[in-house]
Amino acid sequence: MARLEKVLGRFYFVRWQEIEASDMEELIDSMTQYGAEHGRPPVYVAIQGDDYREPKPAVRSTLLAFFAKLIKLIETDYVVIAATGVKASLQRSAMRAMMTVGRIARADLSRVVVLSSVGDVLEREKAHLPAPAAQVLASLREAGILDAET
């Protein structure tokens, strides 16, 4: 398991270090269980920091099938590429472009939002937060989901 998770209200935060095939099935099970228990789908927030490692080629090939299952189980998919540097900036730009182009063929991609910080997610979702944004950030830092400077 190369991830850290925290559920706060309707928000399911996951900080990925590296995505493994077993993680994907566990995440699908968690999203299914959350929806069944709460009567509504969660808001999924996937966080990639500076410690994120690209998935191995075998895992990459299964990500599309994973995503097709995941998008049916969640309300919104926030992809937070919080890493720093040129590479992270290019990744955010490329992913935004892919989502924009992909929306032509798949309407469900309109629920995928690529951002650079969890603070941006909290600002967009401020009316639905289970606590003030500062408390949510503190809780995520305490759980190791966010770094002290994030």
Contact call for residues 36 and 68 (beta carbons, < 8 A): no
27 CB contacts (<8 Å, ≥6 apart)?
14, 66, 70
Please report the pLDDT score of residue 95 as a whole number. 59
pLDDT, tens digit, 9 for 90 and up, residues 59-104: 877 887 888 888 899 999 998 887 666 665 656 555 555 555 455 5
Spatial separation of the C-alpha atoms in residues 127 and 31, rounded to whole Å: 22
Structural domains of the chain sorted by starting position, each given as residue range(s) with its CATH number in brackets:
3-142 (3.30.750)
Please give the Cα distance from 58 to 39 (Å, whole number): 34
Residue given tokens 């992909």 in the structure block: 102
Contacts of 79 (CB under 8 A, 6+ apart): 46, 48, 95, 112, 113, 114, 115
* pTM for this entry: 0.84
Question: Mean pLDDT, to the nearest integer, of 47-68?
Answer: 80
Other beta carbons less than 10 A from residue 7's beta carbon? 14
Give the up-direction half-sphere exposure of residue 78: CA atoms within 13 A in the CB hemisphere: 23
Calculate what percentage of the chain has a pLDDT beyond 90: 45
pLDDT-derived band at 8 (thresholds 50, 70, 90) equals very high
